[in-house]
């Protein structure tokens, strides 16, 4: 251990204290709105499906706006300027975009007891294979996302001088943090992140409001901050940076914002928060209230420019000669604020990593349990057994994420997450469009998914990154010139891949229908998409009650839980 951390003692003490506080909350959460039995996925994995407006707001907010958002977005502005601000239009358009889809998904899931998006696809298109494809895509896309939450924590630890010679010593605090996280997630399920999200977001709002009011004042006003950024980009050899977009950069900006917005609520962990809410009204009101986080994100993004004006130099990266730009924001706080306040800011970022990591591991575990274990391994699994499998899987998922960060180059996780966004977008026709139409043929959806995946991966593989000298997976934007268009514009790969996907789905649906290839049975009906909380079909009592097994659902919910 190097001794640098001694200079950061106050910060370390505050971070540790707040971490202990949320850990205690995580364990206590099991008793929060406690059901009679936790041995049901509706309870462990969806918090009883009864979360109200505020809880949902904090939970989804804590879930979407992760540490991996708060750390790299300002780092992107620090490095490239205006292009990094795409996160703001992305998180503005996403809510009107999904407004109608999410309430339909909530209703049909409420009525049928779906826990994952793949559950819905299975019933809608009568195809366990298509559901498996959706589930596997979800798991593969979520895993690196969890690993990246660790990268957020490590950026904070690095700024506090907690570094070690061996990989194990360097990662020990992260491993301990994740072990505790795994323990209370195992016990409390979704209730743990739901409760911790309150603390996390209160801290983050506090820190950011203070930072964006105080720092510009201290650095001589926004005029001077922007001037400093302008000077930095003018001096850099890179042609695409600057405080506004270049002509060619605009297409990339728009396609990246649109593609990311389309992908966001296809991520299983984002849907977990939605399905956990009490009724349609809660979701609709949250679509209006969640952009408050986008404002926060926009302000956090601007921290990147404040860091330029404050003269922050990012710490060196893992490979010699490289810099870890993710350390920019933690360093800014360390440099410009008193230790106690920097400690609170670091704790906010660290806890900001725990909430989404917990939800993501729950979502990935639910996908495995419902769409792989129950579908293929143990079709007769009871709800109690499902819950146990999910609990254990959530542990394994976290071990995997820690292993990714400890034993592999963090860049590997970043690459995977980049790929994950393109992959998850390929479930759009089945999951999102499937909510509105049943016209697609299940075979066409599967083929479209495969083509979109293949095309997206092929494009990503060929993107070099001149800055790091890597030949493959160097970014997510591909020059349009490659497709014979005479322009300097670049386009987000995910959007191109999903277009290919859609074309295949439409053409094949027409062909398969013409050839009268048998299609799956639609297990849902139009009224399912409009059902609300007081819908009598679910047999589900209001939120504070234990789940009552409804009559006539022998397969999904009918078997009583292990508890008497």
Residue closer to other proteins, measured from CB, 472 or 521: 521
User: Is 112 an interacting residue with respect to other proteins (CB under 8 A)?
Assistant: yes
User: Is 225 an interacting residue with respect to other proteins (CB under 8 A)?
Assistant: yes
Residues 246-275 that bind other proteins (CB under 8 A): 250, 253-254, 257-258
Residue closer to other proteins, measured from CB, 77 or 195: 77
Least separation in angstroms between residue 264's CB and other proteins is 13
Q: Which of 45, 48, 62, 89 binds other proteins (CB under 8 A)?
A: 89
User: Is 544 an interacting residue with respect to other proteins (CB under 8 A)?
Assistant: no
Among the candidate windows 416-424, 481-489, 490-498, 550-558, which touches other proteins by CB under 8 A?
A: 550-558
- Taking alpha carbons only, the member of 148, 67, 117 closest to residue 355 is 67
Residue closer to other proteins, measured from CB, 15 or 103: 103
User: Is 222 an interacting residue with respect to other proteins (CB under 8 A)?
Assistant: yes
Rg (CA), the chain: 23
User: Is 52 an interacting residue with respect to other proteins (CB under 8 A)?
Assistant: no
Phi and psi angles of residue 461, each rounded to the nearest 5 degrees, phi first: -60, -30
User: Is 406 an interacting residue with respect to other proteins (CB under 8 A)?
Assistant: no
CB atoms within 10 A of CB 457: 16
Report how far residue 393's alpha carbon sits from residue 11's, in angstroms, rounded to the nearest whole number: 34
User: Is 479 an interacting residue with respect to other proteins (CB under 8 A)?
Assistant: no
Least separation in angstroms between residue 200's CB and other proteins is 21
Give 410-448 as a DSSP string: HHHHHHHHHHHHHHHGGGHHHHTGGGT---S-HHHHHHH
Are the CB atoms for 45 and 274 separated by under 8 Å?
A: no
User: Is 524 an interacting residue with respect to other proteins (CB under 8 A)?
Assistant: yes
Least separation in angstroms between residue 368's CB and other proteins is 18
Least separation in angstroms between residue 534's CB and other proteins is 5
Q: Which of 34, 97, 140, 450 binds other proteins (CB under 8 A)?
A: 97
Least separation in angstroms between residue 229's CB and other proteins is 10
User: Is 99 an interacting residue with respect to other proteins (CB under 8 A)?
Assistant: yes
Least separation in angstroms between residue 555's CB and other proteins is 4
CB atoms within 10 A of CB 151: 23
Are the CB atoms for 435 and 105 separated by under 8 Å?
A: yes
Phi and psi angles of residue 277, each rounded to the nearest 5 degrees, phi first: -75, 160
Q: Which of 82, 192, 401, 418 binds other proteins (CB under 8 A)?
A: 82
Least separation in angstroms between residue 246's CB and other proteins is 9
Cα–Cα distances (Å) from 210 to 47, 121, 199, 521, in that order, read 33, 45, 17, 56
The distance between the two most distant Cα atoms of the chain, rounded to a whole number of Å, is 73
Least separation in angstroms between residue 78's CB and other proteins is 15
User: Is 232 an interacting residue with respect to other proteins (CB under 8 A)?
Assistant: no
Q: Which of 163, 180, 281, 462 binds other proteins (CB under 8 A)?
A: 281
Report how far residue 274's alpha carbon sits from residue 49's, in angstroms, rounded to the nearest whole number: 9
Q: Which of 140, 205, 553, 559 binds other proteins (CB under 8 A)?
A: 553
Distance from the first to the final alpha carbon of the chain: 53
Which residues lie across from 491 on neighbouring strands? 478
Contacts 24+ apart (CB under 8 A), 331-336: 331/159, 331/307, 332/215, 332/303, 332/306, 332/307, 333/159, 333/207, 333/211, 334/8, 334/11, 334/159, 334/160, 335/310, 336/215, 336/218, 336/310
User: 52: which DSSP letter?
Assistant: -
User: Is 244 an interacting residue with respect to other proteins (CB under 8 A)?
Assistant: yes
Are the CB atoms for 547 and 35 separated by under 8 Å?
A: yes
Cα–Cα distances (Å) from 519 to 157, 439, 512, in that order, read 54, 10, 9
Least separation in angstroms between residue 373's CB and other proteins is 15
User: Is 518 an interacting residue with respect to other proteins (CB under 8 A)?
Assistant: no
Q: Which of 31, 486, 515, 525 binds other proteins (CB under 8 A)?
A: 525
Among the candidate windows 50-58, 162-170, 500-508, 536-544, which touches other proteins by CB under 8 A?
A: 536-544
Structure tokens at 261: 């917005």
User: Is 556 an interacting residue with respect to other proteins (CB under 8 A)?
Assistant: yes
Are the CB atoms for 263 and 426 separated by under 8 Å?
A: no
Q: Binding residues for other proteins, per CB under 8 A? A: 82, 85, 88-89, 92-93, 95-97, 99-100, 112, 122-123, 126, 216, 221-226, 243-245, 250, 253-254, 257-258, 281, 284-285, 287-289, 291-292, 294-295, 298-299, 302, 523-527, 529-530, 532, 534-537, 539, 541-542, 545, 550-556
């Amino acid at each position: 251990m190097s001794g640098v951390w001694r200079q950061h003692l106050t910060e370390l003490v505050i971070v540790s204290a707040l971490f202990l506080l949320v850990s205690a909350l995580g364990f206590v959460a099991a008793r929060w709105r406690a059901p009679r039995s936790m041995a049901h996925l509706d309870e462990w994995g969806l918090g009883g499906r009864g979360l109200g407006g505020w809880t949902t707001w904090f939970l989804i907010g804590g879930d979407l706006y992760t540490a991996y958002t708060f750390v790299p977005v300002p780092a992107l502005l620090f490095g490239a300027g205006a292009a990094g601000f795409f996160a703001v239009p992305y998180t503005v358009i996403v809510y009107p975009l999904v407004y109608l889809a999410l309430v339909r998904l909530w209703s049909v899931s409420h009525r049928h007891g779906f826990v994952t998006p793949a559950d819905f696809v299975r019933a809608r298109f009568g195809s366990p294979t298509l559901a498996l494809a959706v589930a596997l895509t979800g798991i593969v896309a979520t895993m690196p996302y969890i690993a990246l939450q660790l990268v957020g924590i490590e950026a904070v630890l690095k700024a506090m001088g907690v570094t070690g010679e061996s990989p194990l010593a360097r990662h020990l605090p992260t491993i301990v943090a994740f072990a505790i996280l795994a323990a209370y997630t195992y016990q409390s399920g979704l209730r743990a992140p739901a409760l911790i999200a309150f603390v996390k977001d209160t801290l983050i709002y506090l820190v950011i409001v203070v930072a964006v009011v105080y720092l510009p004042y201290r650095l001589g006003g926004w005029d001077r901050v922007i001037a400093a950024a302008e000077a930095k980009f003018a001096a850099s050899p890179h042609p695409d940076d600057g405080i506004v977009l270049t002509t060619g950069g605009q297409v990339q900006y728009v396609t990246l914002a649109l593609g990311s917005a389309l992908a966001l609520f296809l991520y299983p962990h984002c849907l977990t928060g939605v399905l956990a809410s009490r009724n349609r009204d809660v979701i609709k009101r949250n679509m209006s209230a969640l952009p408050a986080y986008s404002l926060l994100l926009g302000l956090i993004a601007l921290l990147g420019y404040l860091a330029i004006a404050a003269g922050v130099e990012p710490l060196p990266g893992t490979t010699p000669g490289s810099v870890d730009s993710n350390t920019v924001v933690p360093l800014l706080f360390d440099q410009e604020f008193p230790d106690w306040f920097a400690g609170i800011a670091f704790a906010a970022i660290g806890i900001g990593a725990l909430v989404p990591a917990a939800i993501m591991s729950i979502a990935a575990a639910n996908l495995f349990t419902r769409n792989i274990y129950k579908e293929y391994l143990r079709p007769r699994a009871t709800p109690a057994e499902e819950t146990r499998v999910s609990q254990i899987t959530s542990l394994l998922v976290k071990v995997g994420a820690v292993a990714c960060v400890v034993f592999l180059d963090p860049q590997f996780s970043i690459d995977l997450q980049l790929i994950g966004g393109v992959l998850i977008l390929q479930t759009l026709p089945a999951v999102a469009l499937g909510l509105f139409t049943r016209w697609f043929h299940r075979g066409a959806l599967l083929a479209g998914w495969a083509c979109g995946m293949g095309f997206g991966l092929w494009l990503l593989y060929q993107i070099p990154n001149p800055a790091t000298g890597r030949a493959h997976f160097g970014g997510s934007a591909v020059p349009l010139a490659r497709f014979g268009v005479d322009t300097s514009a670049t386009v987000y790969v995910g959007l191109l891949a999903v277009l290919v996907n859609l074309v295949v789905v439409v053409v094949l649906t027409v062909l398969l229908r013409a050839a009268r290839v048998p299609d799956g049975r639609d297990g849902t009906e139009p009224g399912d998409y409009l059902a609300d909380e007081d819908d009598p079909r679910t047999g589900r009592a209001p939120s504070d009650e234990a789940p009552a097994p409804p009559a006539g659902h022998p397969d999904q919910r009918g078997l009583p839980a292990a508890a008497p």
